[in-house]
């Protein structure tokens, strides 16, 4: 009994911190207009050359859910979070919402998703992945399930609710993963500081519904995705990696959630993140991600919604966008419309041997 005391105290503290932050979120939702503007940044439009080049394309679905597709329709999906439960659900217990997942996966187009890479075990990254894999594999053969890759904890979250697709593999820092025409280098990266980090690990498949603090953070990953037609650095969480990425990239998908919150307006932090992810990689295009309110639905009765930004307590995108403009002296910073395909600048690189067709 005595040995369990400190652990229970820590758990209670984590739960109380989560409840306090989520309660503040509730107050902010009540106080703020539901029509808060998104980032004050231009919308990215591909050049005619990029449109005609037949290179990589991107679809963005809020948080850090991203689909990267080549001209042959072969894709990798990052996270695959479509449920986007309300703040009320976060307080009481959350689970994958199959109806929302089906509406979200319908936006993926006719691409063949070869793999789902998970940034970390939090609900807005890993919770839906198993059910997404199930939905994508429906009506297809036994080998149709996308491979799910992430930390052990992230995979245990992903497999807590799915029924069919169990194909998964843990990944580690600096590992090179080849999936079809994609060569993906995995980088362990600190998660941005937040009272909602919930340190720990998920040691077995997580049963749902579960409160948000059960989705414990064990490890966070960033990804360098290389293809014969482009190289993309994906930084889902705004943490600084010791030693950087040691890679070149054309495009950076830069997670900015939490870095501009009302209690953490850190110009130095954002400047260091920019130096590591953008300057050091030589990228020419930066697309901010994870700036949105992840409790707002992606699809409503009118179709794909324009996602509102997160409340200022979590991340003030107005401040963040203004700071990004100051940093972007010779780099394009732009947003992309939710759910719509955009062509990315082309890069001639070396494709890796396929291990999965």
Instruction: Collect all residues with Cβ–Cβ distance below 8 Å to 303 and sequence separation of at least 6.
Output: none
Whole-number pLDDT of residue 15: 60
Q: Is residue 178 one of the residues assigned to a domain?
A: yes
Q: Give the structural domain span for 197.
A: 2-343
Query: Which H or E run contains 7?
Result: helix 5-31
Q: Is residue 353 one of the residues assigned to a domain?
A: no
The rounded distance, in Å, linking the Cα atoms of 195 and 197 is 6
Whole-number pLDDT of residue 4: 46
Q: Are 344 and 168 in contact (CB under 8 A)?
A: no
Q: Is residue 348 one of the residues assigned to a domain?
A: no
Burial class (CB in 10 A: 0-12, 13-18, 19+), 207: exposed
Whole-number pLDDT of residue 350: 44
The rounded distance, in Å, linking the Cα atoms of 303 and 104 is 10
Q: Are 318 and 40 in contact (CB under 8 A)?
A: yes
Q: Are 149 and 171 in contact (CB under 8 A)?
A: yes
What DSSP string runs through 147-210?
EEEE-HHHHHHHTTS-SS---EEE--TT-EEEETTEEEEEEE-PPPP-TT--BS---SPPPSSB
Q: Is residue 301 one of the residues assigned to a domain?
A: yes
Q: Is residue 355 one of the residues assigned to a domain?
A: no
Pairing of strands 74-78, 66-69: antiparallel
The rounded distance, in Å, linking the Cα atoms of 89 and 215 is 14
Whole-number pLDDT of residue 30: 46
Among all chains, which residue has been given the structure tokens 């001209």? Answer: 71
Q: Is residue 349 one of the residues assigned to a domain?
A: no
- Please tell me the total number of residues recorded for the chain in this structure: 357
Whole-number pLDDT of residue 118: 98
Per-residue pLDDT of the chain (357 residues; tens, 9 = 90+): 444 445 556 666 656 665 666 565 555 554 554 556 788 999 998 877 666 666 899 999 999 999 999 999 999 999 999 999 998 888 889 999 999 999 999 999 888 999 999 999 999 999 999 999 999 999 787 688 999 999 999 999 999 987 888 899 999 999 999 999 999 999 999 988 776 788 899 999 999 999 999 999 999 999 999 999 999 999 999 888 999 999 999 999 999 988 876 555 677 889 999 999 999 999 999 999 999 999 999 998 878 988 999 876 667 888 899 999 999 989 999 999 999 999 998 644 444 443 343
Q: Is residue 357 one of the residues assigned to a domain?
A: no
Whole-number pLDDT of residue 288: 97
What DSSP string runs through 49-80?
HHHHHT--EEEE-STT-EEEE-TTSEEEEE--
Whole-number pLDDT of residue 119: 98
Instruction: Return the ∠ at Cα 99 (arms to 169 and 215), rounded to 5°.
Output: 45
Q: Is residue 120 one of the residues assigned to a domain?
A: yes
CATH of the domain at 257: 3.60.15.10
Whole-number pLDDT of residue 51: 65
The answer to whether the Cα torsion of 317, 347, 356, 224 is positive or negative is: negative
Number of domains in the chain: 1
- pTM value? 0.89
Whole-number pLDDT of residue 305: 87
């Amino acid at each position: 009994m005595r040995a369990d005391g400190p652990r229970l105290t820590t758990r209670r503290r984590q739960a109380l911190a989560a409840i306090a932050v989520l309660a503040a979120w509730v107050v902010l939702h009540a106080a703020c207009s539901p029509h808060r503007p998104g980032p004050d940044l231009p919308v990215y439009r591909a050049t005619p050359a990029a449109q005609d080049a037949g290179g990589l394309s991107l679809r963005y679905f809020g948080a850090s859910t991203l689909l990267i597709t080549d001209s042959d329709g072969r894709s990798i999906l990052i996270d695959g979070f479509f449920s986007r439960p309300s703040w009320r659900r976060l307080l009481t217990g959350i689970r994958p919402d199959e109806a929302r997942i089906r509406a979200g996966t319908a936006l993926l187009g006719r691409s063949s998703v070869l793999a789902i890479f998970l940034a970390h075990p939090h609900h807005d990254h890993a919770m839906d992945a198993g059910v997404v894999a199930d939905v994508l594999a429906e009506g297809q053969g036994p080998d149709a399930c996308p491979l799910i890759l992430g930390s052990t904890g992230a995979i245990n979250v992903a497999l807590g609710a799915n029924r069919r697709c169990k194909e998964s593999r843990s990944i580690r820092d600096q590992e090179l993963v080849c999936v079809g025409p994609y060569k993906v280098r995995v980088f362990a990266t600190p998660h941005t500081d937040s009272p909602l980090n919930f340190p720990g690990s998920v040691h077995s498949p997580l049963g749902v519904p579960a409160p948000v603090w059960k989705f414990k953070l064990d490890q966070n990953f960033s990804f360098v995705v290389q293809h014969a037609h482009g190289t993309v650095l994906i930084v889902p969480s705004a943490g600084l990696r010791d030693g950087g990425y040691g890679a070149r990239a054309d495009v950076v998908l830069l997670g900015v959630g939490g870095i501009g919150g009302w209690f953490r307006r850190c110009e130095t932090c954002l400047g260091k993140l920019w130096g590591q992810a953008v300057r050091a990689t030589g990228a020419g295009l930066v697309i901010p991600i994870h700036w949105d309110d992840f409790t707002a639905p992606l699809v409503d009765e009118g179709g794909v919604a324009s996602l509102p930004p997160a409340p200022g307590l979590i991340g003030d995108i107005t401040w963040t966008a203004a700071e990004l403009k100051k940093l972007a002296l010779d780099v394009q910073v732009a947003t992309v419309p939710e759910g719509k395909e955009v062509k990315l600048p082309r890069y001639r690189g070396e494709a890796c041997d396929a291990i999965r067709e």
